[in-house]
């Protein structure tokens, strides 16, 4: 009765064009931190990140929202922890404020978070992983009755409701990150990146490992001018994939200094050579931190160009971060 169920590793989508047919359901792609909500029959709840870390302490205001909605049932939910802006839409920059600071009462009041549940993976003692997506979605709407604005079951659509290109146009108009298409008959594959789910984001973002930094100049003297970025190739080697020198708030720079200083090391952590002009004056760090950047393109030599910093991703682990691959390789 009181045991919190085990976490389920999230199923992941592939990037691509949205299929336009009657075999898929469509959901908005939410801009937050993925979270598996595990709820005991007693009402005790834990939130586990995509990397498997327990992040319940980061969101204390969410711990009491699940029991009333589940009517005393144990459950496992897949969803996203988001912070809503004044227009009521998820905003990643607000989530960064939560990621950078302890969740004090003041911060929770200024930047409250909401749990968006988009899949039901277990109810009571019954696993729903082998059920088709359409059944799981229908059960989610039928069995979960949010009684609090901090817990939301967002809508999903079929092509009979609205065409996927119209959904993308609506997403662009309202500042939503994108759209995900999911096969109606697909089971839930824990930890797998499956073509049964296809995501179409409206901005190109990429997770990166921070491997070093260069000092700033002018207004940024005494802090960071750029971060040196990497990702892991198929052989498990950390390769250099570019740098980022824009998009930092003063608060983000202060926080980066705080978390990177203890990670200093003498040698580059990259298995590949960093170009001389990028490595000159570099301060190397242990590759323990994951961040996210927006980028305009990937060059033929697999470097990110026109990058802008979005923030750290405490819900990710470095080993998850993949380096870009040549066109045509998955």
Task: Give the number of other Cβ atoms within 10 Å of residue 67's Cβ.
Answer: 19
Nearest C-alpha neighbor of 314 from the set 288, 295, 279, 286: 288
pLDDT at position 328? 54
- Known catalytic residues are 29
CA atoms within 13 A on the CB side of 233: 12
CA 46 from chain centre, in angstroms, equals 18
Query: Quick one: tokens of 158?
Result: 């079929």
User: H helices of 120-248, where?
Assistant: 133-143, 164-174
pTM above 0.95, yes or no: no
* Tokens coding 70: 């589940």
pLDDT per residue rounded down to tens, the chain (330 residues): 579 999 999 999 999 999 999 999 999 999 899 999 999 999 999 999 998 999 999 999 999 999 999 988 999 999 999 999 888 889 888 898 888 888 999 999 899 999 999 999 999 999 999 999 999 999 999 999 988 899 999 999 999 999 999 999 999 998 888 999 999 999 999 999 999 999 998 888 999 999 999 987 766 767 788 999 999 999 999 999 999 999 998 888 889 999 999 999 999 999 999 999 899 989 999 999 999 999 988 888 899 999 999 999 998 999 999 999 876 555
Domains and CATH numbers, the chain: 12-201 (3.30.470.30), 205-320 (2.40.50.140)
């Amino acid at each position: 009765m009181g045991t919190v169920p085990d976490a389920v590793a999230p199923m992941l989508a592939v990037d691509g064009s949205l299929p336009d047919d009657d075999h898929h359901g469509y959901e908005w792609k939410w801009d937050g931190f993925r979270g598996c909500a595990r709820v005991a029959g007693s009402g005790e709840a834990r939130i586990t990140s995509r990397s498997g870390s327990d992040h319940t302490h980061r969101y204390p205001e969410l711990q009491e929202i699940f029991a009333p909605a589940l009517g005393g049932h144990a459950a496992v939910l897949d969803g996203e922890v988001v912070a809503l802006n004044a227009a009521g839409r998820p905003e990643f920059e607000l989530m960064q404020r939560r990621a950078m600071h302890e969740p004090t009462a003041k911060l929770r009041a200024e930047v409250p978070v909401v749990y968006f549940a988009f899949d039901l993976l277990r109810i009571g003692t019954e696993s729903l992983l082998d059920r088709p997506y359409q059944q799981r979605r229908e059960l989610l709407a039928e069995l979960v009755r949010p009684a609090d604005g901090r817990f939301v079951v967002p809508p999903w659509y079929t092509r009979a409701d609205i065409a996927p290109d119209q959904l993308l146009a609506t997403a662009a108009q309202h500042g939503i990150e994108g759209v995900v298409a999911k096969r109606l008959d697909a089971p839930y594959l824990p930890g797998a990146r499956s073509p049964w789910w296809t995501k179409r984001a409206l901005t190109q973002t990429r997770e990166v490992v921070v491997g070093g930094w260069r000092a700033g100049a002018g207004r940024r003297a005494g802090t960071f001018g750029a971060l040196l970025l990497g990702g892991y190739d198929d052989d498990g080697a950390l390769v250099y994939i570019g740098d980022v020198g824009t998009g930092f708030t003063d608060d983000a720079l202060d926080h980066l200094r705080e978390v990177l200083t203890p990670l200093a090391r003498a040698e580059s952590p990259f298995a590949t050579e960093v170009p001389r002009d990028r490595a000159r004056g570099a301060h190397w760090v242990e590759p323990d931190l994951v961040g996210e950047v927006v980028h305009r393109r990937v060059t033929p030599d697999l470097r990110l160009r026109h990058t802008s910093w979005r923030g750290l991703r405490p819900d990710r682990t470095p080993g998850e971060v993949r380096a870009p691959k040549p066109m045509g390789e998955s």
